[in-house]
Structure 1
């Protein structure tokens, strides 16, 4: 099973791993594009005003540009420890046992504007780049990633659970993935997609799927793992699931 998570704009500082080595990342066929983007971001960081404009940041966020300038020299952290925010708080990597963390590193993957997709244990530095960004030397990330990322994800033989947000789903389609929607129920059978609890529920689901001892290999197995974790989930199609907030 491979669970695709959205990334976060916010990222943890520091790290105790060696500087970025693309050869240590999963999905090595993506490395030519990764290298191109890393070089472009480092070059762009030399021009702070241009970086702020391209990344749609304010002057108070100039520290994010400094992160990009140090992409090749700053320390790394496992991807699941690097990304922060509501979803990753709910995942609670620090609260996992050693065995659960090993499973999480293998089963969970993070969609990334910079790296395409990385497994949870892949060592990555702090950076700032969003899926909707346009890098001046490169252009649209969608146009850059889709031709290489879609074929790469199509080779995944495992069950793929897609928890990505729309911006990152647009970087690569995964036709055979099981898509999870977080919804509310008004009690009368009317369901609406929710935004407020979306990330926290996806984080709880990711934790359930990462830590269950028997890895789910079917949609029904995913529902059982969610139910055992106290989540309410319902199958709505061959490859669609509703997760109730």
Structure 2
């Protein structure tokens, strides 16, 4: 079972586990390909951008000079595992630092984080500090970048990584925000996987009768933490698990060709 997760806008600048590197190709073994030109264009854009352009790209009116300096020198900046770089609401709920080694090992095998700049990341892929607001792009030296295009260009590459040739089916717990679900939709599979059965589970959350959006990030983190603590290996086991503070109220399943997609709704108590 794969668990798909969103990144966070907030990232730690420095971390006790970060390592210095002189390796300008730290990304060479990442899942997505052709990152060299993208990252070169990104850093060059930051070095020449106006304050207005930087504010738009970072999604903030106040830009930290330390953050900007690290992003501008991304190729040689200190690296840390992606799971520790992100520090937003969902990652705080996961509380990765306090998980035991078995849970951390589980995440390294089953969790994928969908980055705005690097594409699909494993938890142990080491990344530098960067900043790129969800949905924003940049254009420099004839490189027009958008997150959506990055995923489109790596569509088959990602699916090849996700595929397990020893099984007849693939299972996904999709904890991503809608933006990333659109960048890489699980119901659009390549021809070489048409023989596989694809099972997708998408949780939603309601409180006081209203669907949560922003605060859903926290509960996605709780679901991820639950999977890690109990090393859940199938969607069935996940659905059978009682989760403190959440009541499974509804499920709606659709079938199309070899794809089964189930939306479940939790009520927050």
Q: TM-score, normalised by structure 1?
A: 0.84
Question: Which 10-residue stretch deviates more, 8-17 or 170-179?
Answer: 170-179
Match of 1:194?
Answer: 212
Residues 1-245 of structure 1 correspond to what in structure 2 (within 5 A)?
1-15=1-15, 16-19=18-21, 21-25=26-30, 27=31, 30-32=32-34, 34-49=35-50, 50-137=53-140, 138-155=143-160, 156-157=162-163, 158-175=170-187, 176=198, 178-184=200-206, 186=208, 192-213=210-231, 215-217=232-234, 219-225=235-241, 227=242, 231-233=246-248, 234-237=250-253, 238-239=260-261, 240-245=263-268
Runs of 4+ in 1 over 3 A off after TM superposition: 50-57, 59-64, 228-231
| Larger strand proportion of the pair | 2
RMSD of aligned alpha carbons: 2.4
CA contact (8 A) 1:3 1:108 kept: yes
Q: Which runs of 5+ in 2 are unaligned?
A: 164-169, 188-197, 254-259
Q: Is the 8 A contact 1:46 1:69 kept in 2?
A: yes
Q: How many residues align?
A: 234
1:119-170 per-residue CA deviation (whole Å, 9 max, x = no partner) reads: 1121111100133112122335145223223323333134222111122222
Contact 2:12/2:87 (<8 A) preserved: yes
SS at match of 1:14: coil
> Could you report, residue by residue, the CA deviation over 1:176-222 in whole angstroms, capped at 9, with x for unpaired residues?
46242322265xxxx54212530111000011112223x422x3222
Contact 1:3 1:163 in 2 (8 A): yes
Larger radius of gyration: 2
